[in-house]
Each structure stands twice: as C-alpha cells, then as structure tokens.
Amino acid sequence: MSRPSSAGPSANKPCGKQQHAPSPAAAPTAAATISAAGPGSSALPAAAISGPGGGGGGGGGGPVSPQHHELTSLFECPVCFDYVLPPILQCQAGHLVCNQCRQKLSCCPTCRGSLTPSIRNLAMEKVASAVLFPCKYATTGCSLTLHHTEKPEHEDICEYRPYSCPCPGASCKWQGSLEAVMSHLMHAHKSITTLQGEDIVFLATDINLPGAVDWVMMQSCFGHHFMLVLEKQEKYEGHQQFFAIVLLIGTRKQAENFAYRLELNGNRRRLTWEATPRSIHDGVAAAIMNSDCLVFDTAIAHLFADNGNLGINVTISTCCP
C-alpha cells in the first residue's frame, strides 16, 4: 500500500507528511494544522564461575572481575562477537560458533572444517548455566549481567539498545541513543510542527485522502516531548480505520509518569480515549496491533470532521506518585 508523498517548496519528506504552521488561535488552547501526504581448549578459572543458584537470579550490576571476563570471553562467537549460548554446538575440531551465525556458514570460521554432523558440547553448556553474561548493550550503558536464559528477553526491551526513528512508516532508517532522538527529528524531519502546552488541538487536514496516510506532530510540556500520531489504514478492501496515539520521547519507566486524553468533539457528540503514553521504544505499530489507542472508522471520522479536517483535543497530565 503506497503512502502519498508531500510536495512544495523546501518540502522535507522523510516521514511522508507535510505540516503547516498553526493558524492564530481564538481559543485558549493551541492548534496546529497538519496536512498529510501522504530498526581449542582453555582452563576455566574457578573464581569466575558464580556459586550455586547464582546464574538464575535475574541479573546484577557492579564491576565485572577480570576472571569473569576471561571466562565469558571463551563463549565469544568468532563471527559476530556475541556470546555462544546453549544449545552449544561445535565443529569436529571443537571450535564454537553461535547458532545464528552457524546457520549462515558452510564451514567452521576458525579451522575451515566441516560443521556437520552437529556435535553438542554439554560441558560448555553446564559452564554457561553457571555464568552471568553481560547485556549486549553494555557498551552503551547497561550494567546488567544475566543468566543465559534471561539474556534474549532482556535485550529485546533493554532501554540502552538503539532507538529507531519514531516517525511512522519505513522511509527513515535512523537509529541512535534516546538523547539523540529529538536532535534527529529537528534536523531530519523539520516539517513536523511542535506545540507547547498541556492542552492542544491536533488538526489533521484532508482525512479523505486515499490509501494509508500518517499525520504527525510534537507536543512539549512538563519538560518532555510527546509525539502525536494519527494513522489511517485500510484493514481490508473498502474498510478504513484511524488510529490515534501519543508516544513519549523517553523510556517506558518515564512514560508511566504521564497520562494522555484524546477527545473528538462535534455535533453534540464526544468520543474520548484515555491511556498511558507509550515509549517510542515500543513504537506505533505495536500499539496499533493491540488496538491500544483511539480507534475509529471512516464513518465516525466524518461525524466529527469539518470539511475533511479532523480536530483532536490532546491533553497531557502527570500521574500521582
């Protein structure tokens, strides 16, 4: 499904949207008009192995001893330098390679010997079960060490993993630290309008545009930045749905400190959605997949629209501790 692209002098199009400056507000709330167009062997130091039960208690922080580092280095994959975790397979000469890389190789990357038949290294698996491995994002700040069974799940949600550009769509492939997200948006997505205040009006224009369309703007309040997204999708032929959500440019823990309310008003009708904002770590797609956002169809949109333009009142508030 194609997304329409924006056009015009100096148009910036990484998100596939174009935003216009807000018109003078007659009401106490701010208003923005958003026009859519639409990531060998080695001795094992005994002191480096955790004690009974030490490997499965969730992770820990603190400095890693040289002995522990020496031990975990024995599990490093020679291809990707991540850790070789159970089930651990070796080549006929005893060299290890992680399962993910093994699937892409035709021979051992160390000795060029055959990787078949698969040989299980049960001794190294027992050692791995007694060791706490550092998170793969240790170099960007994560201090956790984890049992190998906990490591993959943690890394999927680790707050220190690179953040992807939060703009919906697949056009922007940028990734970076959380601190760099706003700088990226300001420089690469200059067309996104930003409004200040706890209460604003998000006015999306041309909601009757065909195909999949995104409307995006930023709201700044309480010392944080929030991304407002309205996305139109055609779930099946002839049936279109709108999804509206607020994302925090921050971590999941920070997002728990806020609440947002989206409200459609008009023709003596009112439609309201209240929720905790999602972190940009989760993204828009996950919220839409779980319907964890304001969802309405074209018929509802037309009840509240004015000449093809839809206004959504957006209120951000802080949660009581």
pLDDT along the chain (321 residues), means of 10: 35 38 41 45 38 42 68 91 92 92 92 91 94 89 91 86 85 89 92 94 92 93 97 81 96 94 93 96 89 94 94 93 56
Residue 1's pLDDT is what? 42
Could you give the CA distance from residue 281 to residue 162 in angstroms, rounded to a whole number?
Answer: 9
Question: Phi and psi at residue 142, in whole multiples of 5°?
Answer: -75, 130
Residues 6 or more apart whose CB falls under 8 angstroms from that of 113 comprise 91, 92, 93, 95, 107
Tokens of 211: 């195909």
**What's the pLDDT at 149?**
92
Query: What b/e readout covers 27-43, taking b as 16+ CB neighbours within 10 angstroms?
Result: eeebbbbbbbbbeeeee
Measured from the Cβ of residue 178, the count of other Cβ atoms closer than 10 Å reads: 18
The predicted pLDDT at position 195 comes to 95
Nearest of 287, 316, 312 to residue 300 by alpha carbon? 312
Cβ atoms of residues 169 and 15 within 8 Å: yes
- Type of residue at 45: P
Q: Which residue type, as a one-letter code, is found at position 217?
A: M
Tell me the helix, strand and coil percentages in the chain, rounded to 5: 20, 30, 50
Please state the pTM of the whole predicted model.
Answer: 0.66
CB 283 within 8 A of CB 172: no
